[in-house]
Every structure is written in structure tokens, then in C-alpha cells.
């Protein structure tokens, strides 16, 4: 395979090897520390439940409470992930209609998140800052008149990334729910690596908490391992409305030229998280393979590519892969590839992808945005969470790959993406036919009646 040189990698934006990170990730140190922290927090949680068993209330909202608290999936950066933007926006829009007089609070873990919260017209509460106990967090909420708690599920609650973080969010939501507020855990993913201790915690939380799973595979994994009611719903980001931005107007002439040339316009997204943590130093090999994939796809099919920068989150940012791929291809593909540099907000991305013919995506919420407007998707999976999304939308699961297959089975993956390109019209029809069902499932995240999502 021809090797493409990445200036980005040479300049150090992609760190090839860090011995301290290697020891932390590969020698068991990280896992040991996280497990120990989780056990300490469980002891604190059990103490709070027992200590306040007389004053904590199990049941529905008491009195005239009217306010809402969001517990986000990233309390440190809050909206650096476009997927998190989409979920927060959907939560706020949904509940603003139902609680028009409510104040909207959001749990944060630092000043950066506080600033992002204020920019989103939310009131930040540092309930998750480093060193803060569960007791301290609960005491800060006692006089807030909380009617509703929404714990954003996403992909951080099964313990596969960080069991201590997952446990912290779940136990905080549990203690808040025991004060009498309605509590919803919005639809989340469960991977093959569903942490056993997190399974136990889910089985012990307040029975009145509404637990939602966002796809059939996650629902099967959860209900097979946890003895408590749960609902099959859809990701709340499906509820977010698209909003065209300035970038769409800027690229419209390019889109018109591509269509005049008879080319399908395919959005492209990938990022370093597509590689396992222990393989992250091999990201350049993946970049080279993905570049070759697009070269061959352009050779074989009438397609143009537009790079979609979805997330900006440090060393997992999309541009760390997309920029060198674009630089490698620009001279060869000419006007058949475009990389808009303007950062788009979540509603703008949803409007943007509506104008494309298909998406090759390594971000689940980019896939959700595309599916929500009827644009077919080919997924690059990581953390085992995209198959369930395809199944939820009645789409073929063979239109899914991973970074390892792209590196080691390039020709096979190329053939599958070619099949995807040929199948775009029928995939769009399937998404359009399924749209109303998906919206109803997403709305059921906030239904107290379990049968509503059956």
C-alpha cells in the first residue's frame, strides 16, 4: 500500500507514542484506579441512601415543583461534542413546551462547562466537579424545586469507557430521584463490555427512574443483565429540528456542479477514537488506508466527497484524521472533494446533511442527524454501538465496518461501500418510511408509562 505522509502528524498534532500514556492504558494502572474509585463512591452512595431513607421520597413529584436539571454526558466540555449539543437542544425544546415556567439547570464540572452552559441559556451547577461528594451535590439542589431530572444516556453509562464516571452519574441521578423528582435516563447504548458493577448499580437504583435504551441491541443487552424495567426508545437527538446555516449557502454552488456532473455527494467523517485506546498510536496507518479507500471509490464510482468535521475534543477531534486525508487527496481529486472549515452547530449539521446523497460516518450522532432527515448512512463502528442504530431504523447491518477492517481488508470494505452507493435510493425510501416511528420512539424517552414504548 502506498504510504501518504501527513504533515499534521509530523508537526505533532497526532502524538505517535507517549510512554506514560502507554503504561496508563496498557499496564492495568488506569483500570485499577478507576475500579477503586468506583467502590469508594458506591460506599458513599449506600451510606446516603441509608442515612436519608426516612427523608428521601420514592414516588412522583410532590408539591408545585417546576424546574429541570440535566445531567450531561460530558460535564467538563458540555458542548464540544456536536452530539451532546443535539441532545441538550432536544431536551430543552421538549421540556420548554411542557414546563414553560421552568428554570433549566445543568450539572457541570468546571468553568469551561459553566461558560458553555450560559451560552446555551442554561444555569450551571458544579455538581460534578473534582472532589465533590455525592452528599455535597445533593445538598446544593435541595432548594431548587426540581420537578424533572434528565440524565443524558448517550454512550457513557455502561462503564465501557470509565466505570467510575458511569457510576457517578447514575448514583447522583438516583439520589436526586429519591427526593421526589421525576427522573429519566434518556436512551443510551450498551456495548458488549457492559461493566458488571454498573449492571449491579442499575439493578439497585430507585424503581421509579425511567430507564431508556436507544436501540434494540442495547435493550437486549441491558434486560439480559439487569433485573429492572426498561424501555426501548430512540436517541433524543432525533427530536432536534434542522436549522440551515451560512455554510449551506456557501457550498450550494459546489453541490450544484457535482449534481450537474452526475456525481453523488457523499459526506465523509472519521476520527482517532475509531481505534481502540491501545492502538491509538497507529492512527496514521488508518489515515493512509482510508485515503486509499476514497481514492479507489472515486475511481470506481461517480462520487464527490465533502468532509464533515463533527467533533472537536482534544486528541479525539475529527480534524486530526480529516485534514491529512483531505490534504492527501486534494491534488488528485480536484473539485470532487471539499473540506469546509467553518464550524457548524448541531442543528446546522442536520440541515447540511439533508442536502447530501449519503454519509460515511465514524460519529454516531452524525449518523442520527443524517437518518433523521432521510440521508442514508454507512457507519464506521467503535465501541460496538452502531449496529443497534441500523437495526432500529430497519437498515442493513452489512453497511457497517470498523477501522481494523479498513486497514486489513480494504478491497472487501470498498466493495461494501460500492454496494451502499448503488443502494442509496432504496435506503432513503426506507428511512423516509420509518421516520414517524422513530420520532415517536424518541418522544417516549420522557413517558412515565412503560407500555408507551413497547
The range of the structural domain enclosing residue 121 comes to 35-240+438-453
Residue whose C-alpha cell is 494502572: 29
Helix (H, G, I), strand (E, B) or coil at 359: strand
Rounded CA-CA distance 217/136 in Å is 37
What pTM does this model have?
Answer: 0.89
Instruction: CATH number of the domain at 226, please.
Output: 3.40.50.11720
Residues 254 and 397 in one domain: yes
Q: What is the pLDDT of residues 397-448, one digit of tens each?
A: 999 999 999 999 999 999 999 999 999 999 999 999 999 999 999 999 999 7
Q: Shortest CA distance to 272 belongs to which of 316, 326, 325?
A: 316
Number of Cβ within a 10 Å radius of residue 26? 11
Residue 2 in any domain: the answer is no
d(CA 446, CA 96): 13
Shared-domain flag, residues 229 and 261: no
Tally Cβ neighbours within 10 Å of residue 430. Answer: 18
Q: Is 300 in the same domain as 418?
A: yes
List of the chain residues with pLDDT < 70 = 1-29, 54-63, 449-454
Do 188 and 236 fall within a single domain? Answer: yes
Q: Is residue 27 part of a domain?
A: no
Question: What is the pLDDT, as a whole number, of residue 3?
Answer: 44
The answer to whether residues 178 and 259 belong to one domain is no
Residue 391 lies in a domain: yes
Looking at residue 270, which CATH number applies to its domain? 3.40.50.2000
d(C-alpha 334, C-alpha 304), whole Å: 10
Residues 250 and 194 in one domain: no
Is the residue at 252 inside a domain? yes
**What pLDDT is stored for residue 58 in this prediction?**
43
Residue 26 lies in a domain: no
**210-213: which pairs have CB atoms within 8 A and are 24 or more residues apart?**
210/182, 210/183, 210/184, 210/185, 210/445, 210/446, 210/447, 210/448, 210/450, 211/185, 212/153, 212/184, 212/185, 212/186, 212/187, 212/188, 212/444, 212/445, 212/453, 213/187, 213/188, 213/189
In a shared domain, residues 226 and 264 = no
Please tell me whether residues 296 and 335 are part of one structural domain.
yes
What's the pLDDT at 14? 45
Tell me the three state secondary structure of residue 310. Answer: coil
Same domain, 322 and 432: yes
**Lookup: cell for 397:** 447491518
Look up residue 109 and give its DSSP letter: S
Domain count, the chain: 2
CA distance 75 to 110: 8
Query: Residue 151 pairs with which residues in a beta bridge?
Result: 71, 185
**Phi, psi (rounded to 5 degrees) for 50:** -70, -45
Q: Are 384 and 175 in contact (CB under 8 A)?
A: no
Is 1 a member of any domain? no
Rounded to whole angstroms, how far apart are CA atoms 339 and 99?
Answer: 41
Q: Are residues 53 and 159 in the same domain?
A: yes
Residue 279 lies in a domain: yes
Report how far apart, in Å, the C-alpha atoms of 290 and of each of 8, 128, 154, 365 are.
Answer: 16, 38, 27, 21
Same domain, 232 and 184: yes
Cell numbers given for 94: 421538549
Distance, in Å, from the CA atom of 323 to the CA atom of 337, rounded to the nearest integer, reads: 12
Could you tell me if residue 29 is inside a domain?
A: no
Neighbours of 412 (CB within 10 A): 11
Do residues 214 and 260 share a domain? Answer: no
Amino acid at each position: 500500500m502506498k504510504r501518504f505522509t501527513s504533515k499534521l502528524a509530523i508537526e505533532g498534532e497526532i502524538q505517535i507514542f507517549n510512554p506514560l500514556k502507554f503504561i496508563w492504558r496498557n499496564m492495568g494502572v488506569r483500570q485499577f484506579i478507576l475500579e477503586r474509585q468506583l467502590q469508594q463512591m458506591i460506599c458513599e452512595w449506600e451510606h446516603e441512601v441509608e442515612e436519608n431513607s426516612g427523608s428521601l421520597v420514592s414516588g412522583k413529584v410532590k408539591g408545585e415543583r417546576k424546574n429541570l436539571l440535566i445531567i450531561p454526558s460530558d460535564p467538563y466540555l458540555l458542548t464540544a461534542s456536536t452530539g451532546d449539543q443535539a441532545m441538550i437542544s432536544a431536551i430543552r425544546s421538549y421540556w420548554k413546551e411542557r414546563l414553560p415556567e421552568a428554570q433549566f439547570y445543568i450539572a457541570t464540572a468546571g468553568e469551561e462547562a459553566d461558560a458553555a452552559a450560559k451560552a446555551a441559556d442554561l444555569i450551571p451547577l458544579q455538581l460534578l466537579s473534582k472532589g465533590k461528594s455525592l452528599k455535597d451535590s445533593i445538598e446544593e439542589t435541595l432548594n431548587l424545586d426540581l420537578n424533572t431530572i434528565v440524565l443524558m444516556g448517550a454512550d457513557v453509562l455502561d462503564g465501557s469507557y470509565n466505570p467510575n464516571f458511569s457510576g457517578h452519574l447514575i448514583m447522583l441521578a438516583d439520589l436526586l430521584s429519591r427526593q421526589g423528582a421525576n427522573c429519566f435516563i434518556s436512551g443510551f447504548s450498551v456495548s458488549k463490555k457492559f461493566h458488571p458493577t454498573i449492571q449491579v448499580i442499575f439493578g439497585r437504583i430507585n424503581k421509579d427512574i425511567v430507564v431508556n435504551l436507544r436501540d434494540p441491541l442495547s435493550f437486549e443487552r441491558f434486560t439480559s443483565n439487569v433485573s429492572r424495567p426498561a424501555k426501548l426508545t430512540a436517541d433524543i437527538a432525533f427530536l432536534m429540528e434542522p436549522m440551515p446555516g451560512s455554510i449551506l449557502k456557501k457550498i450550494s454552488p459546489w453541490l450544484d456542479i457535482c449534481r450537474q456532473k452526475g456525481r453523488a455527494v457523499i459526506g465523509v467523517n472519521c476520527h482517532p477514537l475509531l481505534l481502540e485506546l491501545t492502538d491509538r498510536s497507529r492512527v496514521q496507518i488508518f489515515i493512509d488506508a482510508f485515503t486509499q479507500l476514497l481514492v479507489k471509490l472515486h475511481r470506481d464510482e461517480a462520487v464527490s466527497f465533502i468532509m464533515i468535521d463533527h467533533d472537536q475534543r482534544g486528541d479525539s477531534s475529527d480534524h486530526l484524521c480529516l485534514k491529512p486525508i483531505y490534504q492527501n487527496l486534494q491534488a488528485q481529486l480536484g473539485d470532487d472533494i471539499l473540506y469546509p472549515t467553518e464550524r457548524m452547530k448541531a442543528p446546522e449539521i442536520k440541515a447540511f446533511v439533508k442536502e447530501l446523497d449519503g454519509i460515511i460516518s465514524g460519529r454516531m450522532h452524525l449518523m442520527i442527524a443524517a437518518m433523521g432527515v432521510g440521508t442514508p448512512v454507512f457507519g464506521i463502528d467503535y465501541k460496538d454501538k452502531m449496529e443497534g442504530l441500523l437495526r432500529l431504523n430497519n437498515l442493513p447491518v452489512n453497511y457497517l465496518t470498523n477501522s481494523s477492517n479498513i486497514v486489513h481488508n480494504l478491497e472487501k470494505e470498498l466493495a461494501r461501500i460500492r454496494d451502499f452507493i448503488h443502494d442509496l435510493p432504496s435506503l432513503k425510501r426506507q428511512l423516509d418510511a420509518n421516520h414517524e416511528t422513530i420520532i415517536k420512539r424518541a418522544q417516549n424517552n420522557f413517558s412515565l408509562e412503560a407500555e408507551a414504548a413497547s
